[in-house]
Structure 1
Amino acid sequence: MQETVLFVDDEKSYLAYTTSIFENKGLRILTASSAMEALEIIDQEHVSVVVSDNEMPGMRGLELLAKIKELSPHTVKIMMTGSADLSTALAAINSGEVFRFVVKPWKKSEMLRAVKDGIRRHRILQSLAREDEYILHSLAQTIELKDASTRGHCDRVATLALKIAAELHISVDRQREIKYGSWLHDCGKIGVPEAILNAERALTPKEFDVIKKHTIWGCDVVRKANLSKTVQDIVLYHHERWDGKGYPCGLKGEDTPLEAQIVAVADVCDALTMDRPYRKGLCRDEFLRTIVEMQGTNLAPHLVDTLLQILERD
């Protein structure tokens, strides 16, 4: 697969020269003349390496690269900087914000080497991520063994959440985070006694308080595993409600991160339609009536609309 490299610089002469030296190097080259343009590209494309100037009008390169770290964790970040700003570049490397820097005016050989090293770094990260996928999926399946009635739940939630994300034109990298978050959204249930998980009756208030802690326990697990903030947000906030009556924080409306809202819709959808020890799953007509009633209370109105469009096609 051909890797993509994005160059960001407000000086178009640098962009033109950089593009020319990477011709016939087997890479796909994209350019942006501002940080905002770069973020739009990152949101739509899978970018292996981004090389950004630091001193630009509006958003500086360092701030841009910090935002890219959140949007696309595996994109390798290289900063172009003037000699007077070397201390900033070194601090960025030490904090993990930047992989490498090149000093302007740079030599052709220096830029070629930096991008080559960045590509190699990206390939390593991708290789680790593929291994992580197996580990993360295995962890989700292990947790489901505590509650036989939810077997396959995490996979079904991930499948539907990704359909919703694709319908909303969410970037491939964010979709990957949604997949991980869907797999692990209930990982905190590892700390919930099986007697509560498998109860064939309504839970007592104290038992429900224990259940509600699984979001906090799960977020702690994924944080300690160094998974992204997006995955942490999904695990922590997937039981928040649009009307602010959810848990653990009582967030309302758009205060809940979009990725967590998407997983919440997929989670509710699967929970309503599958058999549980304390009730039978709803038939299609009952489910559709119930999910519409939840629109604007439990769930985001626009996401329920998206879900209904998907179900109408399937």
Structure 2
Amino acid sequence: MFKRRKNPKGLMLNPNAKPKDELVDNQKTFEHNMETFMEQCANVNQRPACISDLSNQNLTVVRRLGEGNGGAVALVKYKNLYMARKTVYVGANTKLQKQILRELGILHHCRSPFIIGFYGAFLNENSICLCVEYMDCGSLDAILREGGPIPLDILGCIINSMVKGLIYLYNVMHIIHRDLKPSNVIINSLGYIKLCDFGVSGELVNSIAHTFVGTSTYMSPERICGGDYSVKSDIWSLGITIIELATQELPWCFSGVNEPMGILDVMHCIVQEDPPRLPDSFPEDLRLFVDACLHKDPNLRASPQELCAMPYFQYTLMKNVDVASWASQFRSL
């Protein structure tokens, strides 16, 4: 029997989710904005140079940054360039190692201000080392722990960047992220907000799955039930991520005795209970945006295109927010 948990932030469930056709406000505006966005991505010089001689011998370790999905992350220096090196164990299968390196090569073609830059990858014994752009303000989960709930104006910019990053992955790179959550959204002191740790390599995703036990809190109901993973599964994770950033609380993880809810309890809630909602104290347009992300039925859940057409997203496009000044307070080397 599942024990009821207290709800200190007042998150509410959504018994009356609105039908999908009420979520699209202005498709023509969306199409125009997306055409402009894709043109900007095509013309912007956001792709780091490919470095052919990456190896541990050519990298100086500055300090440890932490643990990412399935591997350790370190700040390293290549000549005068700082980068983040992530090491993921993949095993001794030579054929598999070469396949992963080949699949990762697609990242050299990524040109978006909303996606982490990729310098290259190399093999080190039975591990793959990925070298990516270093973001000096860290990930949103660390910022959330240090600074508390994200201010609403900053949150709008973060949501805008996450949605644009997902659209770029889907429409241009033909990639589903598969692991969207605050720890996979990173920011720098220039105010850039970027997605990282997305599923570009199926074999690397499988290797991580065998070495890393992650949280299921951001998983969509259909994924927990063994259904196909789709773009809509990422949108569910987006909705849960927004609630966490706005409230500093994860839905379903409340406890009256200061103990975390068990993973089976969480998975039961995701599948069996109504979707969570933001409290009424948040702006209505933002609450409707989150509701659109969190339909239990993926066929009713908003697509990235429909999210872009919603009033809240259009509002964030018009706001001029100094993200850099806010982010700089969390800057490390």
Larger Rg: 1
TM-score under structure 1 length normalisation: 0.25
- 1 or 2, which has the higher strand percentage? 2
- 1 or 2, which has the higher helix percentage? 1
Relative CO higher for 1 or 2, CA cutoff 8 Å, sep ≥ 6? Answer: 2
TM-score under structure 2 length normalisation: 0.24
